[in-house]
Amino acid sequence: MSARITSITGRQVWDSRGRPTVEAEVALQSGAVGRAIAPAGASRGVHEAVDLRDGGKRLAGLGVDRAVAGIGQEIAPALLGMDARDQRDVDRVLCQVDGTPNKARLGANAIVAVSMAVLQAAAADAHEPLWRYLAGDRTVRIPLPEIQIFGGGAHAGRRTDVQDFMIMCPGADSFRTALEITHDVYREAGRLMEANGPLAGVADEGGWWPGFKSNEDALDTLARAIDRSGHKDVYISLDIAANEFGDESGYAMALDGRRLSGAEMAERMIGWTKRYPILSLEDPAGQDDWTTMASVTRAIGTRVQVVGDDVLVTNAGRVTEAAGRDVCNAALIKVNQVGTVSEAKAALDAAAARGWGTIVSARSGETEDVTIAHLAVGWDAGQFKVGSFTRSERMAKWNEILRIEEAMGSRAVFAGASAFAPGIRKSLT
Q: Is 370 in the site for ligand PGA (CB under 6 A)?
A: no
- The nearest distance, CB 315 to ligand PGA, in angstroms, is 15
Confirm or reject binding of residue 85 to ligand PGA (CB under 6 A): no
Q: From CA 239, how far away is CA 242, in angstroms rounded? A: 8
Of 16, 21, 43, 280, the residue at the interface with ligand PGA (CB under 6 A) is 43
Is 44 a binding residue for ligand PGA by CB under 6 A? The answer is yes
Q: How far is the CB of 337 from ligand PGA (least distance, A)?
A: 8
Catalytic site includes residue 334: yes
Query: Which listed residue (103, 334, 345, 397) is catalytic?
Result: 334
d(CA 286, CA 43): 12
Does residue 243 interact with ligand PGA by CB under 6 A? no
Burial class from Cβ neighbours inside 10 Å (0-12, 13-18, 19+) for residue 139 reads: exposed
* Choices 41-49, 58-66, 121-129, 143-151; region in contact with ligand PGA by CB under 6 A: 41-49
Site for Zn ion in 304-333 (CB under 5 A): 309
CB of 255 to ligand PGA, least distance (A): 18
Beta strand 164-168 with 235-239: parallel, antiparallel or unpaired?
Answer: antiparallel
Q: Which helix (H) or strand (E) holds 24?
A: strand 20-28
The beta strand positions in 302-424, using DSSP E, are 305-308, 330-333, 357-361, 382-388
Return the residue nearest ligand PGA (CB atom).
Answer: 41
111 binds ligand PGA (CB under 6 A): no
Based on CB atoms, which residue is closest to Zn ion, 287 or 371?
A: 287
53: amino acid identity, one letter: R
Q: Tell me if 47 contacts ligand PGA by CB under 6 A.
A: no
Q: Within a 10 A sphere around the Cβ of 410, how many other Cβ atoms? A: 4
Integer angstrom CA distances of residue 5 from 78, 143, 220: 10, 32, 54
CB 237 within 8 A of CB 195: no
Contact positions vs Zn ion (CB under 5 A):
239, 282, 309
Contact positions vs ligand PGA (CB under 6 A):
41-44, 154, 163, 239, 241, 309, 361, 363-364
Active site residues: 205, 334
